[in-house]
Amino acid sequence: MSYTKLSALDIAQKVQAGELKALDMLEASLAQIQAVDGDFGQLDGQVTDPNTDKKVHAFISLTKDLALAQAEAVDAKVQKGEDAGLLAGVPVSIKDIFALDGTVTTAASRMLHNYRAPYTATAVQKLIDAGALIVGKVNLDEFTFGSSNESSAYQPASNNPWNTAHVPGGSSGGSAAAVAAEETPLSLGTDTGGSIRQPAAFCGVVGLKPSYGRISRYGLIAFASSLDCPGPLARNVPDAALMLQVMAGSDQRDENTSILPVPNYLEAIQQDVKGLRIGLSPDYAGIAYPNPETGAFEVIPVQREVNQAVLDAAECLAKLGAEIVEDVPMPHTRYGIPVYFVVSRIEAASNLNRMDGVKYGFSVVDPKDLQDLYRRTRSEGFGMQPKLRILMGAYLSASSKNLNYYQLASQVRAMVRKDFDLAFDATGAHRLDALLTPTTPTSAFKRAELFGDSVLMQYADQMTVSVNHAGLPAVTVPAGLDDAGLPIGIQLIGNDFREDTILRVANAYEQATSDAAWRKIRPMALQEVK
Amino acid sequence: MKDYEIIIGLETHIQLNTETKIFCNCKADSWEAEPNTNICPVCTGQPGVLPRLNEEAVRKGALLAAAMNAEINPRSLFDRKHYFYPDLPKSFQITQLFEPIGKGGYLDLHMADGETRRVRINKMHLEEDAGKTKLEHGQRMVDLNRGGVPLVEMVTEPDLRSGEEAAQYLTQLRELLRWIGVSEADMERGHLRCDANVSIREKGSSVLNTKTEIKNVNSIDSVRQAITLEAKRQIELVEAGGVVEPYTLDWDADAGKLSMMRSKEAEADYRYFREPDLRPVVLSEAEIAEIKASLPELPYVRRQRFVDDYQLSAYDAEILTSERGLSDYFEEAVALYGKDPKTISNWMMNDLIRLMNDTGKTARELVLQPQALAEIVRLLDDGKINAATGKSLLVKVEESGKSPAVIVEEEGLGLIADADSLRTQIEVILSGAPGEVAAFRGGKESLMGWFVGQVMRSTGGKADPKLTREILAELLKA
Amino acid sequence: MQLDKISPEAFEKIIEMAAFSLDGEEKAYLLEQLNHQLQSVQELLNIPLEDETESPLARIPRVGDQPRSDDWQAFEKPREIIAMATQNEDGMILVPEPASGKELA
C-alpha cells in the first residue's frame, strides 16, 4: 500500500513506532506530487505539459530542503526513543499565505512574488514543532480573494482532482486539491467567508473552520482581520482533529486568540451522538439573492443532490441517536453577503495598504516620483480581484459618506450572530448542539463559469459566510457525489469553541457511512496514476 | 488700525518614555542607535504581523490624562488612519479617534502678571509614531527605528492669545511631563513636537476665522517667534485688504522665517475605522483610582505651598520646584533641619545647585542627600564650623561619601571653640604685636579687624570668630 | 434609502485614494462590478436595526484583555528586513521624492 493512502494519525503512529521512516514518507509524498500535480503555478507561467488539463496543479513551490531537514530530525528523535511529536513525519502543505522563514510567501500575487518573510507564522511553527514535514506551498486565489482559485497570478491554477475541468473552489483551492489528490494528508488553509469549507466540499475532503481566535493569525497575511481563521484540511475527521489539536491555543502575539483551554479533540470525537440536538434550517435550503431589477430577494434552491445529502445525513444521525430539530429559523442569513461585502472589503483594503513597493515585494523600475512608485507598483502588482476589493473597501470607508458603513455592517453582523445565539441557547426554543446545513449550494462549477461575475460568485458563499460573522466553528465533511460525480459536502456549525462537539458529530457520520458506495470512487486525477 | 486678537491652538505630540514601543517589544528610545537596527516584523509592517498593546503606554497615557484634569476613559479603542508615506510602514497609523484615552481636560497657565488662562484640551489620545526620513545628496532615505514609539497627541482649543502664552504653555507642559515621569520631553530629541494653528480676529468678535498651521516649531523660542511673526503677517495682510488663506507653513528656525509648505487642500480622507487586531483598552474603577492616586503633587500646587508653608519667595519656590526630585530634596532637608526653611533654601539655591551643575547630577543622583545637608547647616548653627568650612564640606561629602561630622573629625576642620586654648593662642599673638596693641589702646579701634585677621591666620581660619572677638576685646582692654 | 451609483468622477477619487493608476478597460470592468456589489450592500440600509450592538467577538476571554508587559526584546535579524526593500543601501531604505513637493493624502 502506498504510504500516501495512510491517514495522518496512522503515519504519526507508525513513524513514532519506528515502523515508517519520516524520510520515506516524505519521498512518497514527493513522488505523488510528481505523478499528479503537473506544472506548478508560476508567475507568467509557461505550461509545458500537454496533459496539463488532467493535472492537479495544487502547488506553487516545494520546500524540499526544509522538509528533508525536518524528516531527518524526526527520524533522529525516534531513533533515540524520544517523543517526535503528534504529527511526527506527517507531510503537510501550506497555503501560500503564511509566513515561513526561509521560504518565499507569494500570496499567489505578483505583489509578493519575491517576499521572504523574516519570521514564521505561529500556526506553521506549531506544526513544525509537532514533527510535521512542511512539503511546500499550495496555490490559492490571489491574496485569498475568491472562491475558485482562478484569480491566482500563479498559473496554471489548481484543478479539482475529481474532474479537472472544474474548479477546486477557493480560496484554499490548492489545499483541498492537494489533500484530495493524496499529495499530502494534511493542508493548512484559511477561511474568511468559507475559504476552507467550500473547496473542501468541492474536493470531497474534510475542512474545518475553527472558532475565531482558536488558532493564531500571527503570520497569516491578512484578508479580513475580524473574519480570517487558519484551519485544517484532511481526508478524514480524526486527522482534522489531530491537526487542530496541534495548532489550537492562545498566542501572545495575537490579541484576538482566546485563552480558553484546548480540549482533547481526539478523545472528544470518540463519543457517540446519542441525545445531541442537531438542527435543520429552512433558511439554508437555498440562496437568497436580491433581484438586480426589483431588489426583492429571490430564493434559488440548492442543487437537488445537495439537499438530499443533508436530509440523508440527518436521517443517518437520527439513527445514531441524535435528535433532529427541524425548522430552526435563521432569518438573517440572507444579510451575510452584504455584511461581508462591507466588513471584508474595508478590512482587506486596509490590510493591503502596506503593499507600496517601498519595503518588500514587487516594485516598479525607475519610478518618476513617489506617487508614481505607489500607483504603478500597486496597479501592476495586484490582479483584478485585489483591485476590486481594495476599491470597494476604499469607497465604503471614505468619510465623505454621511454613513459609517463599517459600523452599520457591524450592527447587522450582530444580528446575524444573534440567530445563532438563539439557536444554541441552552435555555431557548431549539437548544442545538449543532446546526446541519449544506456547505455549498452546488457542487464544483466549471472553470471560467462564474469568474468575472463578482456578485454571483460571492453569493455562492452564503451558506458559509454567516459562520465567519458569528465567529463560530464549522466543519464540512464529504457526503456523497452528485449525478455528475462531483463531491458534495455537508456542514456542521457549532457553538463558541465547541469544535469538539461538531467534530464528534462529523466523526459519527463518517464512521456510519464508511461503507458507502460513493466512498469507494476515486477522483479522476488519481485514476490516471497507477 | 483696528484692535486685533490673536487666536492660537497648539497641537503637541509627546513621546512617552516607556521601555518599549507601543505595539511591539522594540525599544522606545533609539536616539543613539544605528538606523534600521531597532526594528522587528511588527513595527516594519511585514505582511501577516499583528500589534500587541504595551501596558505602560496605557498607564502613562492615563496618568497624563489625570494630570491634565481630563477624564480617563474606562474603555478606549484604537482606530486605523490611512495614508501613504514612506515612514509609515503599514500605510495606516494606529491611533484613537472615536474613543480616546482622555476626554476633556485643561492646563491652567500661570502668567507672569498673575493672570491665569485656562487652556482647554480638545483631544488627547494614544497613537504610534512614524519612522523618519532624511534627504541626503538628493536621495530620500527611510529609517524605521522610531516607527511604533508610543505617542500621546494632545490638541488644545484655540484658547491661547499670544506667542508668549504659547511659549508658556509649552514650558509648563514640558515641566509637567517630566514631573509626572511620562516623558523626557527633550524638544531637541523630538520627545515633544509642536504645530501651531494661528488666526486673528477683531477684538470683541467671537467668530473664528481662517487659520494657518505652522508645522515643526520645535523649541520654546521658535513657538514664540513663529507665532508672533505669523500673527503680524496676518494682521498686515488683512489691514491691506487681503484675505488669510489656510496655508500650511514651515518654520525655518535658523532664518527666522516662515515659508509656505502647501496650501491646505481638502482634508485628506483617512478612511478611519476601528482597529480589528486590538482589543478594547479596559481600565477598571480600581485601576483608574490607582492611577489617579499615583499622581504626585503638581508643580504649580507645590510652588504655591512652598510660598505659603515655608514663606519662600516666589522666585525661590520656582527654582526649588524646577525639578521634582529637587523639590522633594528640599522638603526632606527642611524636615530634617527643623529650623528656618529659608536657611535651607539659601544653601540649596546657592551651593547645592552649583554642586549639581559641577557634577552634572540631579538632586537625587547626588551622594550628598538631605540628611547630610541638614547636618552641615546645623554644624554651622552650633558654631562647630565656620561658613567657609561649611561650603567645602559639600564637595567633600559628595566625593567621599562620608558624613559631615566624620569628615570634620578626620580632617580637623572644627572651629576652635575651646576658650582656654584660644585665649592662650591670642595671648601669644598679642604679645608679638605690642605696637598694634598700644595703638589700639590708644584709640585706633579699626585695628580690631587686623587682630582678628592675625588670629585667623595663625589658626588656619578655624578660630570661632565670635569667641575670638570676645577674647580680644577682653584682652585688649587696657 | 437608495444608494447612489458610483459616478465615473467619484470613481477617479477612489482610484486615487487606493493609489492605483488604471487603464480604460480595467476601469470599466471594475466600476461595473463595484456598482453591482453596491446593490447588494443596499440591503443593509433597509434593515430595521435592533438595539443590541455588542460585537459577537466581545464575549470570549482573549489574550488582548490584558496588555503586554513593557519588556524589551530585540529582533535578531533587522538587516534581513531591510534587505527585502527593492531599493536599499547601507541599511537605509531608499525612496523617490514626492511629485513637486506635493504631499500625499
Query: Per residue, what are the HEC states of A191-227?
Result: ECCCCCHHHHHHCCCEEEECCCCCECCCCECCCCCCC
**A159 exposure class (CB count in 10 Å sphere: 0-12, 13-18, 19+):** buried
Distance, in Å, from the CA atom of A109 to the CA atom of A116, rounded to the nearest integer, reads 13
Per-residue pLDDT of chain B (478 residues; tens, 9 = 90+): 689 999 999 999 999 999 999 999 999 999 999 999 999 999 999 999 999 999 999 999 999 999 999 999 999 999 999 999 999 999 999 999 999 999 999 999 988 788 899 999 999 999 999 999 999 999 999 999 999 999 999 999 999 999 999 999 999 999 999 999 999 999 999 999 999 999 999 999 989 999 999 998 889 999 999 999 999 999 999 999 999 999 899 998 888 899 888 766 666 789 999 999 999 999 999 999 999 999 999 998 999 999 999 999 999 999 999 999 999 999 999 999 999 999 999 999 999 999 999 999 999 999 999 999 999 999 999 888 888 888 999 999 999 999 999 998 888 788 776 778 888 888 888 899 899 899 988 888 888 889 889 888 888 777 888 888 888 888 888 6
Label residues A97-124 b or e (16+ Cβ within 10 Å = b): bbbbbebbbbbbbbbbbebbbbbbbbbb
- The C-alpha cell 503599514 sits at B90
What's the confidence (pLDDT) of residue C104? 38
What's the confidence (pLDDT) of residue B101? 98
Distance, in Å, from the CA atom of A477 to the CA atom of A204, rounded to the nearest integer, reads 7
C75 touches chain B (CB under 8 A): yes
The model's pLDDT over A179-221, given as tens digits with 9 standing for 90+, comes to 999 999 999 999 999 999 999 999 999 999 999 999 999 999 9
DSSP-assigned beta bridge partners for residue A280: A436
The answer to whether A14 touches A78, Cβ cutoff 8 Å, is: no
Distance, in Å, from the CA atom of C8 to the CA atom of A33, rounded to the nearest integer, reads 48
C86 touches chain B (CB under 8 A): no
Q: Is the pLDDT of residue A496 over 50?
A: yes
Which chains lie within 8 Å of chain A at 3 or more CB pairs, if any?
Answer: B, C
Q: Is the pLDDT of residue C102 over 60?
A: no
What would the DSSP string read from start to end of B7-40?
EEEEEEEEE---SB-SSSSSBS--TTSPTT-S--
Crossing angle of helices A499-512 and A237-247, rounded to 10°: 160
Inter-chain residue contact B46 with C67, CB threshold 8 Å:
no
Enter the C-alpha cell of residue A82.
Answer: 524520544
CA distance B64 to chain A (A): 25
What's the confidence (pLDDT) of residue B310? 93
Q: In degrees to the nearest 10, what's the CA dihedral of A343, A347, A350, A356?
A: -120
C19 touches chain B (CB under 8 A): yes
Mean pLDDT to the nearest integer, A60-85: 98
Q: Which amino acid is at B249?
A: L
Mean pLDDT to the nearest integer, A472-482: 98
Residue A359 CA: distances (Å) to CA of A83, A117, B186: 41, 12, 30
Enter the C-alpha cell of residue A65.
Answer: 530542503
Count of beta carbons in the 10 Å neighbourhood of residue A192: 27
Q: Which of A195, A211, A363, A443 is catalytic?
A: A195
Q: Is the pLDDT of residue C9 over 50?
A: yes
Strands (E), A337-485: 434-438, 474-481
In this prediction the pTM is 0.92
Distance, in Å, from the CA atom of A356 to the CA atom of B45, rounded to the nearest integer, reads 11
Total residue length of chain C = 105
The answer to whether A245 touches A266, Cβ cutoff 8 Å, is: yes
Tell me whether residue A195 is one of the annotated catalytic residues. Answer: yes
What's the confidence (pLDDT) of residue A56? 97
Inter-chain residue contact C91 with B86, CB threshold 8 Å:
no
CA distance C59 to chain B (A): 12
Distance, in Å, from the CA atom of A65 to the CA atom of A134, rounded to the nearest integer, reads 10
User: How remote is the C-alpha of B47 from its chain's centroid?
Assistant: 42
Inter-chain residue contact B141 with C92, CB threshold 8 Å:
yes
Which strand (E) or helix (H) includes residue B268?
none
Strands (E), A345-408: none
Minimal CA–CA distance to B80: which of B267, B268, B271? Answer: B271
Alpha helices in B52-159 (DSSP H): 55-67
C80 touches chain A (CB under 8 A): yes
**A195 exposure class (CB count in 10 Å sphere: 0-12, 13-18, 19+):** buried
Inter-chain residue contact A117 with B92, CB threshold 8 Å:
no
Distance, in Å, from the CA atom of A119 to the CA atom of C77, rounded to the nearest integer, reads 10
What's the confidence (pLDDT) of residue C58? 66
Tell me whether residue A530 is one of the annotated catalytic residues. Answer: no
CA distance C88 to chain B (A): 9
A117 touches chain B (CB under 8 A): yes
Label residues A285-322 b or e (16+ Cβ within 10 Å = b): bbbbbbeeeeeeeeeeebbebbbebbebbbebbeebeb
C73 touches chain A (CB under 8 A): no
Inter-chain residue contact A418 with C86, CB threshold 8 Å:
no
Distance, in Å, from the CA atom of A368 to the CA atom of B467, rounded to the nearest integer, reads 90
Phi, psi of C78 (to 5 degrees): -60, -30
Minimal CA–CA distance to A385: which of A147, A112, A47, A57? Answer: A147
Distance, in Å, from the CA atom of A164 to the CA atom of A159, rounded to the nearest integer, reads 5
Mean of pLDDT over chain A: 95
The model's pLDDT over A283-305, given as tens digits with 9 standing for 90+, comes to 999 998 877 777 788 898 999 99
- The C-alpha cell 458529530 sits at A505
By CA distance, what is B248's nearest residue in C? C103
Distance, in Å, from the CA atom of B296 to the CA atom of B327, rounded to the nearest integer, reads 12
Enter the C-alpha cell of residue A236.
Answer: 478524514
Mean of pLDDT over chain C: 86
A372 touches chain B (CB under 8 A): no
Residues of A with Cβ-Cβ distance to B93 under 8 angstroms: none
Mean pLDDT to the nearest integer, A513-524: 96
CA distance C10 to chain B (A): 13
Task: Give the helix, strand, coil percentages of chain C, each rounded to 5.
Answer: 45, 10, 45
Which chains lie within 8 Å of chain B at 3 or more CB pairs, if any?
Answer: A, C
Distance, in Å, from the CA atom of B433 to the CA atom of B429, rounded to the nearest integer, reads 7
A31 touches chain C (CB under 8 A): no
What's the confidence (pLDDT) of residue C2? 61
CA distance C12 to chain A (A): 10
Residue B415 CA: distances (Å) to CA of B199, B376, B449, B468, B473: 67, 13, 19, 11, 19
The answer to whether A51 touches A156, Cβ cutoff 8 Å, is: no
Residues of A with Cβ-Cβ distance to B272 under 8 angstroms: 397, 399
Per-residue 3-state assignment (H helix, E strand, C coil) for A10-64: HHHHHHHCCCCCHHHHHHHHHHHHHHHCCCCCEECCCCCCCCHHHCCCCEEEECH
The model's pLDDT over C34-64, given as tens digits with 9 standing for 90+, comes to 998 888 888 888 888 877 656 555 679 999 9
Phi, psi of A384 (to 5 degrees): -65, -40
Q: Is the pLDDT of residue C103 over 50?
A: no
Residues of A with Cβ-Cβ distance to C86 under 8 angstroms: 357-358, 363
Enter the C-alpha cell of residue A308.
Answer: 438530499
Q: Is the pLDDT of residue A77 over 90?
A: yes
DSSP-assigned beta bridge partners for residue B153: B13, B125
Half-sphere exposure of C75 (CA within 13 A, CB side): 24
Inter-chain residue contact C40 with A337, CB threshold 8 Å:
yes
Total residue length of chain B = 478
Asked, as a colleague might, if the bond just before A156 is cis with ω within 30 of 0, I would say yes
The answer to whether A107 touches A43, Cβ cutoff 8 Å, is: no
DSSP state of B350: I
Contact residues for B171 (Cβ-Cβ < 8 A; gap 6+): B220
Count of beta carbons in the 10 Å neighbourhood of residue B16: 27
Of C14, C42, C95, the CB nearest to A391: C14
Q: Which A residues in the span 363-382 are in contact with C, Cβ-Cβ below 8 Å? A: 363, 367-376, 378-379
DSSP-assigned beta bridge partners for residue A436: A280, A492
Q: Return the CATH fold of B419-477.
A: Arc Repressor Mutant, subunit A (1.10.10)
CA distance C26 to chain B (A): 23
Distance, in Å, from the CA atom of A116 to the CA atom of A363, rounded to the nearest integer, reads 15
By CA distance, what is B83's nearest residue in C? C105
The answer to whether A472 touches A419, Cβ cutoff 8 Å, is: no
What's the confidence (pLDDT) of residue B1? 67
Minimal CA–CA distance to B195: which of B9, B70, B355? Answer: B9
Residues of B with Cβ-Cβ distance to A468 under 8 angstroms: none
Minimal CA–CA distance to A260: which of A27, A496, A444? Answer: A496
Mean pLDDT to the nearest integer, A418-424: 95
Least confident of A397-401, B461-465, C82-86: A397-401
The boundaries of every CATH 1.10.10 domain in chain B are 419-477
Which chains lie within 8 Å of chain C at 3 or more CB pairs, if any?
Answer: A, B
The answer to whether C42 touches C3, Cβ cutoff 8 Å, is: yes
Distance, in Å, from the CA atom of A166 to the CA atom of A482, rounded to the nearest integer, reads 14
By CA distance, what is C2's nearest residue in A? A295
What's the confidence (pLDDT) of residue B268? 78
Tell me whether residue A171 is one of the annotated catalytic residues. Answer: yes
Of A390, A395, A408, the CB nearest to C6: A395
What's the confidence (pLDDT) of residue A119? 98
Distance, in Å, from the CA atom of B382 to the CA atom of B390, rounded to the nearest integer, reads 12
Of A118, A369, A396, the CB nearest to C96: A369
